[in-house]
Amino acid sequence: MWWEDAAVYQIYPRSFQDSDGDGIGDLRGIAHRLDYLVWLGVDAFWLSPIYPSPLADFGYDVSDHTAIDPVFGTMEDFDALLAEAHAKGLRVLLDLVPSHTSIEHSWFREHPDRYIWSPVDGPPNNWRSVFGGSAWSRDDVSGGWYLHTFYAEQPDLNWRNPEVVAAMQDVVRFWLGRGVDGFRVDALTGIVKDAELRDDPPAAGDFPLPLPREFGELEHVYSSNRPEAVEAVGALREAAGDALLVGEVFLGTAEYPRWLEHLDLVFAFELLFAPWSAEALRAAIEPAEALKRVAWVLGNHDFDRLATRVGEENVRAAADLLLTLPGTAFIYQGDEIGLPDGPGHDPPYDRAGRDRFRHPMQWDASPTGGFTTGEPWLVPIDPEERNVEAQRADPDSLLNHYRRLIHPE
Ligand code: GLC
């Protein structure tokens, strides 16, 4: 398969390239930068969500799965980007968000049975939201209590309702029909919940990945990681045919085999969080490597930047590791120029504190880093000291190091 040894580049569309001066990245901007991706040598790119969204979770609260948010452009812009990418030999992955929608999605009012509601007047169990507090909130309109694994603005879909399964399969077919090459599948772990809504037990303390404190106090065996999820993923696979499906399954490596039944790849999160020591890295890599079908990853839009985590002195070794491990590797935009965490925004856009990992790409040394001609939605961090243009011109730069690793000449 084309992806078996691929380097895939994650684009965070709001922060990659603005083309119309509104300070927010867009599809035409991405199209202008395709030659950069070709030069870098990646095989594909993944677009974080480009669908209409009220932005409670910056695109991961989707209010229409088969449309383009006007801030990013139009469906024509999308088709043009896809065609241009393909013409340049780049494959395109979209972000599929099957486990929840925005509370402003028309389904929430028109098809409330597509969501998960408490059978009692209040939370029926102790489940917690990833972002803190109860996973249940009261809907002021109907008075019922609905489940949300993430923000209250992101009600969870009920995958036990065949209508949900069919609707999400239609979403997959819609985008495949336009020509996309696959999907990164968001927040799969909790796609199906316990039918009896049983309480999650207290955490045993051995979960291998970092979790927000309050959320981590419970072992999420009923609210998430259900055996029934295999069937749900199977339904996505049925619609996807042999398009690439990379799952965001936020669990330790030992849990992956069942998820890989219908997914091509799952992100190797233990590697992303491994402390920077040979021993810890080996412990994270060996079991994941044995599965043969993990996507190696050292950064994304949810966690501290690679350069901040491993330190400037280790960014080259991190690139060596990421891009020489056997199999598929994902690179988060900006990591190839060593972008660190930024200052974020005050007041925060993301209530969970992830603005710092989402600052604009720095293309040149100008004050906005060539990202926009307007006011950038998040300030560039340090375009004068760090930018693509300067690093391209310097054979010893981190950027050229990435390039050589991606396609050795
Ligand atoms: C995934 C996304 C994250 C989002 C969450 C809920 O973890 O990467 O950004 O907040 O899902 O959709």
Report how far apart the first and last C-alpha atoms of the chain are (Å, whole number).
Answer: 23
One of 69, 181, 248, 264 is an active-site residue; which one? 248
Tokens 């042999």 sit on residue: 242
Measuring from each residue's beta carbon to the nearest atom of ligand 1, which residues come in under 6 Å? 57, 60, 97, 150, 186-187, 248, 301-302
Residues 193, 136: contact at Cβ < 8 Å?
no
State the closest ligand 1 atom to the C-alpha of 149, by its place in the atom list counted from 1: 6
Residues 371, 354: contact at Cβ < 8 Å?
no
327: alpha, beta or left, given left = phi > 0 and alpha = psi -120 to 50?
Answer: left
Residues 6+ apart with CB under 8 A from 38: 88, 89, 90
Is 248 in the active site?
Answer: yes
3-class DSSP string for 185-237: ECCCCCCCCCCCCCCCCECCCCCCCCCCHHHHCECCCCCCCCCCHHHHHHHHH
State the closest ligand 1 atom to the C-alpha of 60, by its place in the atom list counted from 1: 12
Mutate to test the pocket of ligand 1, among 50, 57, 191, 350 (most ligand atoms within 8 A of CB): 57
State the closest ligand 1 atom to the C-alpha of 100, by its place in the atom list counted from 1: 12
Tokens of 34: 């395709």
pLDDT by 10s per residue, the chain, length 409: 999 999 999 999 999 999 999 999 999 999 999 999 999 999 999 999 999 999 999 999 999 999 999 999 999 999 999 999 999 999 999 999 999 999 999 999 999 999 999 999 999 999 999 999 999 999 999 999 999 999 999 999 999 999 999 999 999 999 999 999 999 999 999 999 999 999 999 999 999 999 999 999 999 999 999 999 999 999 999 999 999 999 999 999 999 999 999 999 999 999 999 999 999 999 999 999 999 999 999 999 999 999 999 999 999 999 999 999 999 999 999 999 999 999 999 999 999 999 999 999 999 999 999 999 999 999 999 999 999 999 999 999 999 999 999 986 6
- CA pair distance 241, 238, nearest whole angstrom: 6
DSSP 8-state class, residue 313: G
Give the E-state strand segments of 78-177 in sequence order: 91-96, 136-138, 145-147
Is 163 in the active site?
Answer: no
Residues 6+ apart with CB under 8 A from 154: 56, 57, 60, 61, 100, 101, 102, 103, 148
> For the chain, what is the total number of helices (H) and then of strands (E)?
14, 10
Residues 343, 337: contact at Cβ < 8 Å?
no
One of 57, 95, 186, 200 is an active-site residue; which one? 186
DSSP 8-state class, residue 10: E
Mutate to test the pocket of ligand 1, among 95, 150, 189, 251 (most ligand atoms within 8 A of CB): 150
Tokens of 383: 């375009």
The protein residue with its alpha carbon nearest to ligand 1, atom 7, reads 187
- CA pair distance 383, 60, nearest whole angstrom: 28
Q: Which residues pair with 332 in a beta bridge?
A: 10
- What pLDDT, on a 0 to 100 scale, did the predictor assign at position 407? 86
Cα distances (Å, whole numbers) of residue 95 to 203, 249, 379, 385: 30, 14, 25, 32
User: What angle (nearest 5°) sits at the alpha carbon of residue 182, between those of residues 316 and 12?
Assistant: 50
Handedness of CA 260, 265, 266, 270 (dihedral sign): positive
Residues 247, 185: contact at Cβ < 8 Å?
yes
Residues 6+ apart with CB under 8 A from 58: 14, 349, 350, 358
User: Residue 244 in 3-state DSSP?
Assistant: strand
How many Å lie between the centroid of ligand 1 and the Cα of residue 130?
Answer: 10
Tokens of 112: 């409330």
Residues 6+ apart with CB under 8 A from 407: 41
Tokens of 6: 């691929």
- What pLDDT, on a 0 to 100 scale, did the predictor assign at position 322? 98
- What pLDDT, on a 0 to 100 scale, did the predictor assign at position 409? 60
- CA pair distance 103, 194, nearest whole angstrom: 22
Identity at 347, one-letter amino acid code: P
- CA pair distance 17, 77, nearest whole angstrom: 14
Q: Which residues pair with 44 in a beta bridge?
A: 8, 91
Whether pTM exceeds 0.95: yes
**What is the CA 219 to chain-centroid distance, rounded?**
23
